[in-house]
């Protein structure tokens, strides 16, 4: 070897070493773009990828829905059902999405080239995300407003002396005085033991004409309804637009824009804060709450088993719903986020770790929630089941009330809403990135103008969402949130059918083997082909069978809103139907059945993201496995029963 060749080889080795350290990798593991357009980004390292996935999975539902489901379904039995569904359905479907994205290096819109017949699934998922992106930032806007208000002394939701309060308002102090008499205590006995408090209560009752049968409205609820929302009487009365909501909504979109300004290179660094900070704050609140009177009772209520509930179908159904909606398989972001992985990343390990860490966060958050609720129950004399709520009410009414009782309430309230801000931003960044990345991949020339496209998208979502900032916006929010994800369980079911039966678990296992060095274990194959589809189909059917019209408090929506909601939910399935018709018409074959079969085969663009593996990649027709039994056996055990069980 002469000196020139030696120098060239040395430079080549150094170049290869350096490219492993940058975010936009040019190594063979990338999905090369031979058109000359800029290549897609990659995560700078495994930590960026891991934290981004964690941030997407840990959202508001882990804090405000899981504890409520757990309490309502007997505590311990729900945890048992939850863990079973997590293993049988959560891990397999999560792994499925990660493999599709990492293998193809494509977003959720284009990864479905694996089956052109049902490629519309990607468009359907994007349609759902487009609507969710419009209203999800409203929750972050609410959080920003509460975070800013938490710096005021005293906390504005702790008193009834504000301009927005009504005659029915009752604050924490009066609640503590009234609560003993809700539990049957004697006013005479109370008067004899605490003269001043009894006089204060009597004066309050006289001034407000308050009786025990009268509906009282807490100061926290009035702050939520009349200060933040300035709520109207119903969806028919949209009303004006409170300026503070529009400004906070703008702030939420500015945070989103700047967090994603450099794509995965910037979002991968933002998640170091947004994904990890919630755990620090949760731990701090848990330690403080555990020292409060009644906290132990709340935690015991959370975990005490009620074993007879384990045989109730509702427990298993709601455990399935929690797993599905918290992990988010079938929605698209998991495929998109994993498409930025390097080709040989161990996504099997990531799936198991991520599922248990993210859902372990739900359980951990449950301890925090019920410690605080136990303290509230102790202070008010109410039963824990009477103070627990789900959804925004838990975050924006119950928690502010509980934290106002603590020493240094402003500090704890700021920490709590800072945690809620980071949790919400994680999920929002993943959903927005999914849509933006799909546009980039559909029109590669726009990759050079990513900031412009992202800015246009954020501006569009902001103006579309301004109706949510009106006085009747909360009703629009409820309708969108109630119906938009109506068809997502069915999309996830179709996804499992495609991979398990149409494309085939055996082919899918071979694809995974190119990345991982080993095929998919037998138990995972069984879960992908039988168990997970069954659970997802059950969720889809039960969603329709147990349908109830949306409500907000005592307000019932008019009938035409129900019609609109159903049309909105069903519209998310339209791209699947349109895509199937288009694929059949463009496929070759003398008969309709032959066209369907040909349209079910992967397109020529379905290939590994790695250039090295893409050169030799071929589609196996599996012509030796014609019968259903032989194909089923192949999907589960592989050729010659050679696959490992675990």
List residues forming the annotated binding site for Na(+).
Answer: 55, 58, 62, 326, 426-427
**Is the bond leading into 343 cis (omega within 30 degrees of zero)?**
no
**How is the chain split among helix, strand and coil, in percent rounded to 5?**
70, 0, 30
| 469 in Cβ contact with 242 (< 8 Å) | yes
Token reading at 144? 């920003």
**DSSP-derived secondary structure letter, 602:** P
Residues facing residue 217 across a β-bridge: 169
What is the rounded distance in angstroms from the CA atom of residue 524 to the CA atom of residue 638?
Answer: 12
Residue carrying the six token digits 């109207």: 232
CA distances from 73 to 311, 389, 392, 484, 577 (A): 11, 14, 20, 26, 38
Mark 146-155 as b/e (b = at least 16 C-beta within 10 Å).
Answer: bbebbeeeeb
**Binding residue ranges:** 55, 58, 62, 326, 426-427
What is the rounded distance in angstroms from the CA atom of residue 225 to the CA atom of residue 456?
Answer: 32
Backbone φ and ψ of 470, nearest 5°: -80, 175
Nearest residue to 121 (alpha-carbon basis) of 587, 543, 497: 497
Helical H runs in 20-119?
A: 46-57, 60-64, 66-72, 76-85, 91-104
Residue carrying the six token digits 């959560």: 90
Going by C-beta distance under 8 Å and a sequence separation of 6 or more, which residues neighbour residue 63?
A: 365, 369, 394, 395, 420, 423
* Element housing 169 (H / E): strand 169-170
């Amino acid at each position: 070897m002469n000196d020139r060749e030696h120098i060239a080889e040395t430079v080549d080795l150094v170049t290869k070493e350096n490219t492993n350290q940058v975010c936009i990798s040019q190594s063979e593991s990338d999905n090369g773009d031979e058109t000359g357009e800029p290549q897609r980004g990659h995560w700078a390292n495994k930590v960026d990828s891991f934290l981004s996935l964690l941030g997407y999975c840990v959202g508001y539902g882990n804090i405000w829905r899981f504890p409520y489901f757990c309490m309502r379904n007997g505590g311990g039995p729900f945890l048992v059902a939850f863990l079973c569904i997590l293993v049988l359905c959560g891990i397999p479907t999560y792994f499925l999405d990660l493999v599709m994205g990492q293998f193809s290096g494509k977003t959720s819109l284009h990864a479905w080239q694996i089956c052109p017949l049902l490629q519309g699934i990607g468009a359907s998922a994007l349609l759902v995300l487009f609507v969710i992106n419009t209203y999800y930032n409203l929750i972050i806007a609410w959080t920003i407003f509460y975070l800013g208000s938490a710096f005021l002394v005293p906390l504005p939701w702790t008193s009834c002396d504000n301009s927005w309060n009504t005659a029915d308002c009752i604050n924490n102090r009066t609640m503590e005085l009234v609560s003993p008499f809700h539990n049957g205590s004697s006013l005479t006995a109370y008067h004899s033991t605490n003269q001043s408090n009894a006089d204060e209560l009597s004066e309050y009752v006289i001034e407000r004409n308050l009786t025990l049968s009268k509906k009282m409205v807490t100061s926290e609820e009035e702050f939520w309804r009349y200060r933040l929302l300035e709520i109207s009487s119903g969806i028919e009365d949209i009303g004006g637009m409170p300026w503070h909501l529009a400004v906070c909504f703008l702030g939420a979109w500015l945070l989103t824009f700047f967090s994603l300004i450099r794509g995965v290179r910037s979002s991968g660094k933002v998640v170091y804060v947004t994904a990890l900070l919630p755990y620090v704050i949760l731990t701090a609140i848990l330690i403080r709450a555990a020292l409060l009177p009644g906290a132990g009772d709340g935690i015991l209520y959370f975990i005490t088993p009620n074993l007879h509930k384990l045989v109730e179908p509702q427990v298993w159904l709601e455990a399935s719903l929690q797993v599905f909606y918290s992990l988010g398989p079938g929605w698209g972001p998991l495929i998109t986020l994993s498409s930025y992985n390097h080709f040989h990343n161990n996504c099997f390990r990531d799936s198991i770790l991520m599922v248990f860490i993210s859902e372990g966060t739900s359980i951990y958050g449950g301890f925090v929630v019920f410690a605080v609720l136990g303290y509230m129950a102790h202070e008010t004399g109410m039963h824990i089941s009477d103070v627990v709520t789900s959804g925004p009410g838990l975050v924006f009414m119950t928690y502010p009330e509980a934290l106002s009782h603590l020493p240094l309430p402003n500090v704890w309230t700021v920490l709590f809403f800072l945690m809620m801000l980071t949790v919400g931003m994680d999920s929002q960044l993943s959903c927005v990135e999914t849509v933006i990345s799909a546009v980039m991949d559909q029109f590669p020339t726009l990759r050079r103008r990513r900031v412009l496209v992202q800015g246009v998208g954020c501006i569009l979502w902001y103006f579309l969402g301004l109706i949510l900032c009106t006085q009747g916006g909360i009703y629009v929010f409820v309708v969108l949130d109630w119906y938009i994800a109506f068809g997502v369980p069915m999309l996830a079911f179709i996804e499992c059918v495609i991979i398990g039966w149409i494309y085939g678990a055996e082919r899918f296992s071979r694809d995974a083997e190119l990345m991982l060095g080993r095929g998919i274990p037998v138990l995972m194959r069984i879960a992908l082909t039988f168990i997970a589809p069954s659970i997802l189909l059950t969720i889809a059917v039960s969603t329709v069978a147990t349908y109830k019209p949306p409500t907000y408090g005592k307000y019932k929506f008019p009938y035409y809103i129900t019609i609109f909601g159903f049309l909105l939910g069903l519209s998310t399935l339209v791209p699947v139907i349109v895509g199937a018709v288009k694929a059949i018409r463009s496929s070759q074959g003398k008969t309709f059945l032959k066209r369907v079969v040909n349209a079910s085969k992967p397109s020529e663009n379905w290939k590994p993201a790695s250039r090295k593996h893409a050169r030799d990649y071929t589609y196996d027709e599996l012509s030796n496995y014609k019968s259903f039994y032989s194909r089923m056996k192949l999907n589960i055990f592989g050729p010659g029963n050679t696959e490992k069980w675990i």
